[in-house]
Chain A
Amino acid sequence: MRVARGTLLRNLAGSIGVLSTVAGLAFGLPAIDRALPAARPVDSGPYLVGGGVTVTPPPGARLDVTLTRPRDTRGTAVFLVGTVRYVIVVAPFDGSLADATQRLRDKITRGHQITGKESPTRTATGLDGVQGTYAASGRGGRYLVFLAGDVAIEVTVAGSAPALRAALGAIEASTRTIAYRGGTP
């Protein structure tokens, strides 16, 4: 049982072609992706997160375009304020504020620890919500939940303790600008 040399060479060439294409798709494309920066400056005006929710980003914040996805009924915006990640997630929701808060807490507790008590909060446009804090090893975070129309707005802010302390003022100012459909609660 043997294979003709010509067949073997053609098969080798084909195999190299298949392997090269696989490598190009699985490693080449991600390499090109990594070579391009993910963060870009964002305008100082209101930014459309998605689902009719807007926010004015903190001054100097950059947008992580690879994680930001604005859509009609939902959306995600990821801002970078220094090394602090400021994430706003909007998703359809038909429960109460307590339900929405519990859902976010469940997500947080998969890798972090809730610390302290929750307290009510309110945006400049009149959206009522809840805020709390959480922590993991070496990192701290804040979370806020608002209910507006048929969507829930989840906000998480996370970073190392010093960076978080430095950026928190600007981020709190930004969260107060969260608005639903131009300002209607």
Chain B
Amino acid sequence: MTPVHPTPEWAHPGKSLLLPAFWVVLMLIAGGAVRLGLFVRESFAAYPTATLLALVLFGLYAVPFCVFVAALDYLEREPPLLLATAFAWGGLVATSISIRGNAAVHNLMAKLASPGLAAEWGSALAGPTVEEIAKALGIVAIVLVARAQVNSVLDGVVYGSLVGLGFQVVEDVVYAVNAVAVAGQGDQVAPVVATFLLRGFLAGLWSHTLFGALAGAGIGYLAVRTDRPLLIRVSVAVLAVLGAMGIHFLWNSPLLSLGGGAGIFGDLFVKGIPPLLMILFLVRGVRHREADYYMAQLAALGDRRIATEEELRVLAQGHLRAGARRHAHGRCGVKGRRAVSRLQRAQARLAVELSRASGVNVPGLRINPSVSPGPAVLTDSDVPPADTVVPIDPYASAAAEASGDPVVPVDPFAPAAPATSVGTSDPAISATSAGMPVAAGPPPTAVAVGVARVAAAPVQARVLGGPAAVRWRDRVLVERGRMLALGHPEATAPLTRNGSVRRVVGGIAVFLTAMVTVGLALIALGAS
């Protein structure tokens, strides 16, 4: 079983309207919007400049997070409406729930224990329990509304982090406006800026977006890995939510806090960075699993015009994709950059469409000769009966090459072997140039878009894809043609390992320097 469940082709967004979960989510978001709208209206009436600044600052603050999430979500893009729903749940529903729930937990602690305990540990207890549950419900709601769109653990991470980001942005706006009110100096922007630096810049990276990502990974696992026993899936989801609660608890609690101005740095390095690194490694792992899956879809085509081995390596990782675009820009200017960008996008879409073909989620498919006459036939003795398909190992050809087994020789940008297939949907691409003669008749629902090389025998099998896959294959070929015309045929990133390390280390150094500078400034200003 693969780590990715592609969205079936029969999945239709309109079906969500028929689900009770859709209306429940809509109702809750509308309620949260009314509540937040009232708060913003009152805040504008009392502190117009400060409120506007808070909205602008924290609105802009969300942008780099969105860019990061978009990079994570590059290969199999989630529907923007669902992403917006996740953000809205975090910002409108989870915050509304948490304002009431948090206050109640604080009060209950004071009533059942003591005001001192509530003052010391109230945030550590109320935040993780109420807020993390409220946010996790948002990810569950997304799964309920659009189950077919949650295809991998990474999708859970994406939705979870957006729920967390929405929560974080709205919570910070509320904090900023409250800081203005508490300062008692009227419509001043200084408390807003201080809140932005402290909660946004210093504490923002290991805040709700991070907690949400962890919880989302667990819930994504529960939803996607249906090949695992239910008990294990539920346990993983519960552990992930508990992990998010644990990190949140540690961050909010007085544990490991040095106190005073130096406490800012203590909190950053002891309570902030370790969970950040841990979750980033987790996200990196699930991202690679998803990327491997989609790269296998392209690799199964065995067509270097669609994607070379080096391009597959580059396409799988965000920083390499960016490096390839930079490289193209250096060689061919803006046109080169755009061509590489479009090629990468088309390759990613093609990989997704291949994975969706006919609801079969294997990297490549062999088709029984009786179904698929022509040169792409199988000679394996264990070929299944007619009208059936079997998965193949997309990397087998590489292994075969290494072991000396015969494989089909390929030209640098030629298909592995000619195949009979449907014609292109783009007139700019001739069927001949694509190596695929045009077939007559109405377009089928699942058609061959490429040829998979099979290691066991020097034969090829056609790879299925729907009409959308054909369109994206054509788009790839168009972009490839453009790149060839530019004299930059391959979208690769000639980054050396040392170059990558330098970039990462440089980025971390700049980031830490900025944090220390802001921290020192806040200490000088007397923030705590």
List residues of chain A with CB under 8 Å of any chain B CB.
1-3, 7-8, 11-12, 14-15, 17-19, 21-22, 25-27, 29-30, 32-33, 36-38, 40, 50, 63, 65-66, 68-73, 75, 92, 94, 103, 106-107
- Is B297 part of the contact surface with A, judged by Cβ < 8 Å? no
- Is B468 part of the contact surface with A, judged by Cβ < 8 Å? no
Q: How far is the CA of A81 from the CA of B231 in the complex (A)?
A: 56
Q: How far is the CA of A68 from the CA of B14 in the complex (A)?
A: 52
Q: How far is the CA of A103 from the CA of B186 in the complex (A)?
A: 10
A14 adjacent to B93 (CB under 8 Å): no
CB-CB under 8 A for A1 and B15, given A15-B20, A37-B111: yes
B101 adjacent to A25 (CB under 8 Å): yes
B24 adjacent to A65 (CB under 8 Å): no
CB nearest neighbor in A for B141? A18
- Is B103 part of the contact surface with A, judged by Cβ < 8 Å? yes
> Which of B103, B114, B119, B185 has the most A CB atoms < 10 Å from its CB?
B119
Which of B15, B115, B120, B134 is close to A68, meaning CB atoms less than 8 Å apart?
Answer: B115
B107 adjacent to A14 (CB under 8 Å): no
Residues of A within 8 A of B186 (CB): 106
- Is B57 part of the contact surface with A, judged by Cβ < 8 Å? no
B528 adjacent to A65 (CB under 8 Å): no
B140 adjacent to A3 (CB under 8 Å): no
A-B contact pairs, 7 of them (CB 8 A): A18-B137, A21-B133, A22-B28, A22-B137, A25-B97, A69-B119, A94-B526
Residues of A within 8 A of B427 (CB): none
CB-CB under 8 A for A29 and B15, given A14-B21, A14-B140, A22-B93: no
A107 adjacent to B24 (CB under 8 Å): no
B100 adjacent to A26 (CB under 8 Å): yes
A11 adjacent to B115 (CB under 8 Å): no
Within 8 A of A (CB), among B181-196: 184-186
B134 adjacent to A25 (CB under 8 Å): yes
**A99 → chain B closest CB, angstroms:** 11
**A101 → chain B closest CB, angstroms:** 12
Which of A2, A17, A26, A63 is close to B101, meaning CB atoms less than 8 Å apart?
Answer: A26
CB nearest neighbor in A for B130? A25
Interface residues on B, range: 35 or more
CB nearest neighbor in A for B122? A69
Q: Which 5 A-B pairs have the closest CB atoms?
A: A29-B104, A68-B115, A65-B110, A69-B119, A33-B104
B100 adjacent to A29 (CB under 8 Å): yes
A29 adjacent to B108 (CB under 8 Å): yes
A12 adjacent to B93 (CB under 8 Å): no
A30 adjacent to B103 (CB under 8 Å): yes
**A108 → chain B closest CB, angstroms:** 10
Residues of A within 8 A of B28 (CB): 19, 22
B133 adjacent to A32 (CB under 8 Å): no
Residues of B within 8 A of A33 (CB): 103-104, 107-108, 111
Residues of A within 8 A of B14 (CB): 1
**A96 → chain B closest CB, angstroms:** 15
- Is B371 part of the contact surface with A, judged by Cβ < 8 Å? no
B96 adjacent to A26 (CB under 8 Å): yes
B130 adjacent to A36 (CB under 8 Å): no
B184 adjacent to A21 (CB under 8 Å): no
A65 adjacent to B104 (CB under 8 Å): no
**A36 → chain B closest CB, angstroms:** 5
Residues of B within 8 A of A7 (CB): 19
A27 adjacent to B112 (CB under 8 Å): no
Q: How far is the CA of A36 from the CA of B112 in the complex (A)?
A: 9
Residues of B within 8 A of A17 (CB): 140
CB-CB under 8 A for A12 and B137, given A3-B15, A73-B528: no
Residues of B within 8 A of A3 (CB): 15, 18-19
Q: How far is the CA of A70 from the CA of B110 in the complex (A)?
A: 11
**B99 → chain A closest CB, angstroms:** 9
CB nearest neighbor in A for B27? A19
**B136 → chain A closest CB, angstroms:** 9
Which of A8, A22, A94, A106 is close to B19, meaning CB atoms less than 8 Å apart?
Answer: A8
**A17 → chain B closest CB, angstroms:** 8
A14 adjacent to B96 (CB under 8 Å): no
Q: How far is the CA of A30 from the CA of B20 in the complex (A)?
A: 27
B20 adjacent to A11 (CB under 8 Å): yes
Residues of B within 8 A of A11 (CB): 19-21, 144
A18 adjacent to B140 (CB under 8 Å): yes
B108 adjacent to A18 (CB under 8 Å): no
CB nearest neighbor in A for B260? A73
Which of A38, A73, A75, A103 is close to B184, meaning CB atoms less than 8 Å apart?
Answer: A103
B118 adjacent to A69 (CB under 8 Å): yes
CB-CB under 8 A for A25 and B100, given A11-B21, A18-B141, A38-B107: yes
